Homo-oligomer: A and B are copies of this chain.
Amino acid sequence: MIDFPYIKSITRSTKSKIIMVVADGLGGMANSTNPKSELEIANIPTLDKLSSMSSCGVTTPVLPGITPGSGPGHMALFGYNPIKYLLGRGVLEGLGIGANIGSHDVAARGNFCITDANGIITDRRAGRLTTKESKTLVEILNTIEIPGFEIKVHPVMDYRFVLVLKGPNASANITETDPQVTGTSILESEGLTPSSTGTALAVNLFTRNANLLLSSQKGTANSVILRGFSTIPHLPNFAENYKLKPAAIAGYPMYRGVAGLLGMNILECGQTFTEELDMLKKHYSTGDYDYFFVHYKPADTAGEDGDFDGKVKALENFDSYLKEIVDLKPDVLVVCGDHSTPSLIGSHSWHEVPFLIHSENSQGMGDEYGFSELNCKKNGSIGSIQAEQLMLLVLAHANKLNKFGP
């Protein structure tokens, strides 16, 4: 939760409803050869109309210059300090495939790999191992038994899997077995505290067993390397602290997973935005929820592909879908992004991300500006903020905050 110890003491439950749409990778950029950003090129009449009447600004996801992964990007939008509440790599990978990770379980990312006769790693990704082959090998790994621990291996994609260790003494405080380079042996895991040596031993036994079982298969992969051992951090409850009844609608498991960790109710649906919208419409008027997190993925995907026109198109599609959300007449409609994914970079970036908050309390930009990175920053009534502060403004626009201090 944002570093404001009085948050729970000033939030209040009201009848107003909030829809917060996170357009993944919303922000883009221009440069000297491409003088307009994707948002500036896109034909987005709904966003332009909304922003003329909305409190607008831009968010810095973590710190200027820092490019966030999806985990920190979303945590910040939900009002959680993304540095303090960093989710581990194993946990996030597990959430991404919908793996069941208990509050005391340890999750790790695994690679199938190839070692030579001397145990030296020659390929950290086991060649062109397909997801299908990988699934077969995962079944084999799931036969491994380690006393005192319950082992569960989940396939991810290609050569990747997730290992979940359950047990009363499971600890993430151990070193990785993945040396991150080839030409060297798989590392022995070591406990970093006396109470974590048991887990390190279990991991080494798992690796040895995996090596024996896989070698006997005569397939491509003959061993495994593990990294990102992590547990779920203690996370303040979103619903309790904000006094909201929150629902998460996200086609991709990872975003559902993050929302679930915070205590949001997950409304399961398919991966298309149309399916997400159907779910939103179905639940909006029931009264069961007063906060909806809705996730839109395609803008990020196109940005990651470095596909400028594709991202423009993804934003235009988003804009037409948005009309249907506007028609629900939410008291507060927020459009924001977890990070920027400029097509010109072809990956997540550190750039500020535009947002709008539409409500009866909003101070709009007026008709002369459209919804874009630069306009939201320069002409929005809010301007630049930390992403972690967005939820406070959303709650304020929803009249859900009492005065702080006498």
Contacts and interface: CB of A to CB of B under 8 A. Distances in A.
Interface of A: 2, 4-6, 10, 29-32, 53, 62-72, 82-83, 86-89, 92-93, 228, 345, 347-348, 350, 360-364, 374, 377-379, 381-385, 389, 391-397, 401-406
A188 to B, nearest CB: 22
A180 to B, nearest CB: 13
A279 to B, nearest CB: 26
A402 B89 CA distance: 15
A66 B5 contact: no
A398 to B, nearest CB: 10
How many monomers of this chain does the complex have?
2
Contacts of A6: 83, 86
A135 to B, nearest CB: 23
A37 to B, nearest CB: 9
A391 B406 CA distance: 22
A325 B67 CA distance: 29
Contacts of A82: 405
Contacts of A381: 374
B404 A93 contact: no
A363 B64 contact: no
Contacts of A364: 32
A71 B405 contact: yes
Contacts of A385: 64
10 contacts: A2-B63, A31-B360, A63-B392, A64-B392, A64-B393, A65-B394, A69-B403, A82-B405, A378-B378, A384-B384
